[in-house]
Structures are given as C-alpha cells and as structure tokens.
Amino acid sequence: MKLIMRVLKRKILVCCVILISFAVAVLHWTSQTPTLVSLVSIQKQAESTIQMLLESNLNQLKNYSSIPYHLKPSLANAVARNGCVCEGDKWRIKVPFGDLLFSQVWAADLHTAFRASDLDNINQRRQKEYLNFRKRTNTAADLLIVAQANSPLQYPTQGVEVRPRKSTLIHGLGLNYKSQSVYSVSLTATMGTFDVAALVDGVQISGEGEMHMNISSSQLSALNRQLQFITYTNTIFHPNTVDVVQFGTEGFLAAFTIKIRHAIPPKLYDPGSKKEYNISALVTIAAKTFLRYDKLQDLIDSIRQFYPTITIIIADDSEHPKPVTGPYIEHYIMPFGKGWFAGRNLAISQVTTKYVLWVDDDFIFTSNTKLEKMVEVLESTTLDLVGGAVREATGYTATFRHTLSTEEGGENGDCLHYRKGFYHVLEGFPNCVVTDAVINFFMARTDKVRQVGFDPRLARVAHLEFFVDGLGSLHVGSCDDVIINHASKIKALLPWGETETDKAYSKFRHHNTSSIQNALYYFKNRLKCITGN
C-alpha cells in the first residue's frame, strides 16, 4: 500500500512539474508574441495624409494674389541665393605666387569624375538612394504647418527653416481682425533680422533690417499681402538652434520658431548596377577576436562557403597575434587587451559598404544565415539595424529582444527599464518585429552605427550598453528566420576538454567589470538605477 502511495505521489509530482513548465512556456510565448492588432507598417511612404493637408494649407497662402507688389531687389536676390550655383572667379591673374596674393574662388563640376556613358545610370542610383535617405530622416516635424487665425493672428507653427547666415521667406503670416481704421502687426526676433522681399502699396513698414519690425495699413488685404513677403535673415551664427519669433497685434501675442541649421549632408552608398542584391557590394562582415584563432578560422570557412567574395574585417587585440590571411580579409592588430568595444570601433571604422554585419568570432554561417533577407528588410523600411537569431549547440535559438525606456528621476538621475519583448510585427515581414535591443548578430546601416559608437572603456563584457547609447536615434528590428550557429561550448566546459587557449580566454572574458559598467551608466548616461528581466 505504501509503495502504491509513493508511486502515486511521484506521478502527481511529475504531473505538477509538467504543468508548471507548460504554464511557464505559455507565459513566455505570450509575452513574446504580439496580438494581431500590433502589425505595423514602417515602409518608406512616398506620400502621406499629412502632406496632403499641408498642401491644402499652402494653397490658402495664395490669397491676395491680385494685389500688386514691387520687388525689393536686394532682398529678392538674397532669398534667391539660397539656391545652389557653383561658379568660380572668371578672372585669373597669372603672376608668381598669384594664388597666395589674390584669393580667388574656384569651382569644380563633380560629375566629371565619371564617364559620360555611365552618368545616367549613376544618377538614377544616386537619386533612388537619396530619396530613401530623405524618407528615413525627414519627419512630419520638419514640414510647414500654418495655424489658422483662431486668434486674429495666423502664423507657421512649425516648418520654417533657414541656413545659418542665410535668408528665407516666412510663409503663413496673416491677420484676420475685425474692421478698424488701422491694422498693425509686429515681429520680434533674437538671432536675426526682418525685411521684405517686395513692397505693397498702402503699407507702412518700420524696422527693415532690424530685429524688430512694425507693419501697418488701413487695408487688411494690403497688410496680409505684405506679410507674404516678410523675410528672416539669420545674423548670429549657430549650426543647429532655433530663433523664437514673437508675432503680435493689439491685445494678442503669439510665438513660433525658426530652425537655424545646416542641412545634414546625406551619406549615400552606391549599391551597384545589378538589379538583385549584390551582397559583396552592400555588406561588410566585421568581427572582434581575442586568442580564439581556431574558432575564427571556422567562422571564415563557413562564410566563404556561402559568400566567397564578401569582405571580412577583423580587429585583434591578442598579446601574440597570429596572421589571418586570405582573399577579401582585412586583419587589424590592436594593443594587447584593448578591449571588446574598442575593437568594434576599429573594425567598423574601416567599412566602406552601406551595411555592416556584426558577428562574434565563434559564430558559424549555415544555409539559414540569409544576409539577403536582412538587406531586404533594411532596404524596404526605415529600420537602422536588424538582428537575427543565434542557435546554440543544444538547439535553443535566442533573439534577445528587449524594449528600453527611461523615466525622469529628479536630481539623482533617471531610471532605465529594459524588458523582454518587442513593440509590433513588421508588416510584410511576418518573422520580423520592432524592438530596442537585439542579439549580438545584427546588420546595420554603417553610418548609423558609427554615429552611436562603442564606448572603448567597456573592454571585456558589454552589449546592452550600445543600445542604451543608441536609444532615440537607432530604429531597431529583429528577424528570427535569419539564423547563425554558435560554436559548441560543451567541450570547453568539461575539465578534460578545456585547452590552454580556453583557459586564457576565460580569464579575460569573465573578469568582473560590473563596477565599470555601473559607473558608466551612472555618470555618462545619468542613470540612478536599472530594472530589467
């Protein structure tokens, strides 16, 4: 009887363990799986409802077109000069040391760097890349929106922009006021001056070329027509700031901003003339190695099996570096023990392709390591970085998807929260999601990774720190159908299977660096605490 009871207890215990395991698995699966409504498109849209609304706004600015005006040549030319013309000095003084004595402007037509027969094809590729760049970087916050006269004042709420020390028309100014004998408005700036590009009959103006301007007229239509020719000229240089302009009339005052900033030059990469993705022209593989030359060679051999001509860049901070040679391999030697993130910076600094694929030196390419899929996701969306999945020797596949957020914490610093999971599925790519941090196997836009950078003070253990530094500037995704294998660690874990190299690597790899990481989080990122799961 006791034996039967003991067997029953064991069966009940086993059933409980199975049920608990099942419940945990379900909970984990549901926490990682979004609902159907979380399918979101981040494709690069050519048109948008917002742009259509803005066009409607701009059409309203064409009112009063029948009222005559007289161009003011000095200001009209200044505004027109915002257009780009490359012209050098036509006169040249040919005397000894003439270039030193007389400062002369030269001009160069850059298209002459290419053969005329290739230029049409190059221009088409360049325009396509530029449009994709604009769709990734331009947002609704850059577009002109005009606040209609809910008060008597009409003005642009956003979208007015001027280059440093240049001039621009201020679109959207207007007055909608009750009938009175004289209508007047004023404009006040702090980093530039106002003027008019044209003069309208019956309008009085004071303060031309100054930071404060008054405009008045007995005719409201004439005043509004004159407001369409108001110009702003930046006089105080700053490469990226705003001027807060006050716009007022009797009893009312409004404020709007004018962005003062240089246009950010695009960083475009020529994808080549082939219609299909040319991985060797688009992607460079980067890795950091330390001591483990056997594993590095296995990685290289696996890459060459599927991508024979792709460039591989290796940063190496081993004490006694060994040569790593072969076609399309660049091996860079660093000071001994310089570190993990320093090596990442070095490797990625040498990439000349549009995308960089980061891999660890103990990864193995397989038939499931489809780089074309990652390229397709990056080419089709606004994502800057897309991670894949890493399959362990045990068969477990990891993606390390985490969302990051910060909360204001007062004088002591802010709080960082990271949680397992993601935000939504990527429309058109059912195996891909949008998140904030991914596994240590990812493809990214080269210029964006360089923009964030890797803190070289993180020498041996680091990963999440890169995504914390990139929070707010990196748009991150993850696809679980692009898989790379992780070399087996089982042999090295056995007492009789660990080599001298494994022992040396483990000594450096597992050195306690949590105090360094926490100190950087505390000071550099101004955090007081981190929560995560």
| Residue 246: how many other CB atoms lie within 10 Å | 14
Query: In this predicted model, which residue has the larger pLDDT, 285 or 10?
Result: 285
For the segment 486-493, the average pLDDT, to the nearest whole number, is: 63
Give the Cα-Cα-Cα angle 321, 506, 299 (nearest 5 degrees): 55
User: Exposed, middle or buried: residue 468 (CB in 10 Å: 0-12, 13-18, 19+)?
Assistant: buried
Q: Quote the pLDDT of residue 325.
A: 92
pLDDT tens digits along 46-63: 444 445 544 555 555 566
Q: Quote the pLDDT of residue 478.
A: 97
pLDDT tens digits along 187-238: 999 999 999 999 999 999 999 999 999 999 999 999 999 999 999 999 999 8
Answer whether 162's CB lies under 8 Å from 232's CB.
Answer: yes
Q: Quote the pLDDT of residue 485.
A: 95
Answer whether 249's CB lies under 8 Å from 185's CB.
Answer: yes
pTM of the model as a whole:
0.73
User: Exposed, middle or buried: residue 205 (CB in 10 Å: 0-12, 13-18, 19+)?
Assistant: middle
pLDDT bin (cut points 50, 70, 90) of residue 27 is very low
Using the predicted structure, report yes or no on whether residue 494 has a pLDDT greater than 80.
Answer: no
User: Domains of the chain, with CATH numbers?
Assistant: 51-78+140-261 (2.60.40), 279-532 (3.90.550.10)
Q: How far apart are CA 484 and CA 359, in angstroms?
A: 9
Q: Quote the pLDDT of residue 312.
A: 97
CA nearest 435: which of 463, 387, 480, 403?
403
Query: In this predicted model, which residue has the larger pLDDT, 35 or 97?
Result: 97
pLDDT tens digits along 254-285: 889 999 999 888 888 887 777 777 899 999 99
For the segment 310-323, the average pLDDT, to the nearest whole number, is: 94
Q: How far apart are CA 211 and CA 204, in angstroms?
A: 17
Using the predicted structure, report yes or no on whether residue 411 has a pLDDT greater than 80.
Answer: no
pLDDT tens digits along 292-301: 899 999 999 9
Q: Quote the pLDDT of residue 47.
A: 45
pLDDT tens digits along 366-406: 999 999 999 999 999 999 999 999 999 888 999 999 999 88
